[in-house]
Amino acid sequence: MKHLISLVLVILTLCLTFTACSNSASTDNKDAALNTEATSAATTTAEITTAAEAETTIPEETTEAEVLYTEVPKAPLYADESITNILLIGTDSNSDWGRSDTLMVLSLDNVHGKIKMTSFLRDTLVTIPGYDPDKLNAAYAYGGVELCIETMEYNFGVDIDGYAIVNFKTFKDLINAIGGVDVYLTEDEIAYINAQVAQNGQPNYIAEDTGEGYVHLTGGQALWHARNRGGEVNGEYFYGTDWDRVDRQQRMFEGIIAELVSLSFDEVSAMAYTVLPYVTTNLSAGEIAGHISNAPAYLGYSIERATFPWDYWTDSYYDYAGSVLEITNWNALRQDVARFIYEDVE
């Protein structure tokens, strides 16, 4: 059981590490990004419970005045004992009160035999309980992990069972500690990494004759890839969006899982001891053991991933918040999130 616990902890840690390295905002178009990618599907029925009453009414359209001065009604809270949701928080600060630049819910779905990665864009304008509406990543800065979880549950209706936090500044050391990572790169992505390396006076260029395909990345190279959302770097312009960046992070996590599957439990356990000191979590060994009683099956689970919001948003700008993704239909967005994580939602 110790090795099974280590496997899940390594998956959690590396997932968080890869998604903890974005520290800039964008609300560009999402034309080149993928919303969801699944390797297989299942049709088992899950029993869903809600913690909110039916009288909660969600406005179909949110006006500027409502966003500024009226809280969005609290979402129905979906929960399923067979689905464990871990909130992965990536922060750009060494303190407990920095902004959470990455928020991903990792769901271990024992109903449908899936591992699901659900990313939430940091610039989404949300209700933060006890505060004025602001970007999603502001909740962690205002009230730490407790307010961050409360904000996620309030706005999106996802029951959070635990959390893990990592500072993206440890990313390079962490990836180097596991020997680097193999990632499929396009020629444009290779050029972006090399441009960042050159601009920042770093070593470890990727060979110029490297074509599209799998490339073994060091920690520094992997960091630039995970942060890539385009823009001008070292005199070159690269196209990209926040959705593209999230897609890269999620694909890197899929590659890590594939590598873990090929390792022995002893190797995975040793890796866990290496990477876990970088993570803060409220998950005890006993709690994790309870969640992974069927851990051997996880290696055969399919992987699905999604990013929200995908639809029902518009670009907006407010003096106090800057550029934001303003939700135009909270009811529809919440239904999409629930259907992805829990699937069998009426």
Residue 196 domain-assigned?
no
DSSP letter assigned to residue 86? E
Extract the tokens encoding 27.
């609300």
d(CA 241, CA 32): 8
**Side chain identity at residue 112, one-letter code:** H
Residue 297 domain-assigned?
yes
- Residues in CB range of 63: below 8 A, 6 or more apart: none
* Global confidence as pTM: 0.73
Instruction: Give pLDDT, residue 14.
Output: 55
Give the SS3 label for residue 44: coil
Give the SS3 label for residue 290: helix
Give the SS3 label for residue 65: helix
d(CA 330, CA 346): 16
Q: What is the CATH number of the domain that holds 336?
A: 3.30.420.590
Residue 136 domain-assigned?
yes
Residue 156 domain-assigned?
yes
Residue 216 domain-assigned?
no
Number of domains present in the structure of the chain: 1
Range of the domain at 163: 2-170+257-342
Instruction: Give pLDDT, residue 118.
Output: 94
Instruction: Give pLDDT, residue 198.
Output: 92
Instruction: Give pLDDT, residue 321.
Output: 80
Residue 242 domain-assigned?
no
Buried b (16+ CB within 10 A) or exposed e, 106-127: bbbbbbbbbbbbbbbbbbbbbb
Residue 205 domain-assigned?
no
Nearest-Å Rg of the Cα atoms of the chain is: 20
- φ, ψ dihedrals at 143, nearest 5°: -145, 20
Extract the tokens encoding 117.
């990665």
Residue 47 domain-assigned?
yes
pLDDT tens string, the chain, 346 residues long: the values are 333 444 455 555 555 454 444 433 333 434 333 333 333 333 333 333 343 333 333 334 444 434 453 578 999 999 999 998 999 887 765 555 556 667 889 998 989 999 899 999 989 999 999 999 999 999 999 999 999 999 999 999 999 999 988 776 667 777 787 778 888 999 999 999 999 999 999 888 898 788 999 999 988 898 888 888 888 898 889 988 877 887 887 777 776 666 666 767 677 667 766 766 777 888 776 665 554 455 556 767 888 989 999 898 888 888 878 888 999 999 999 999 999 999 987 7
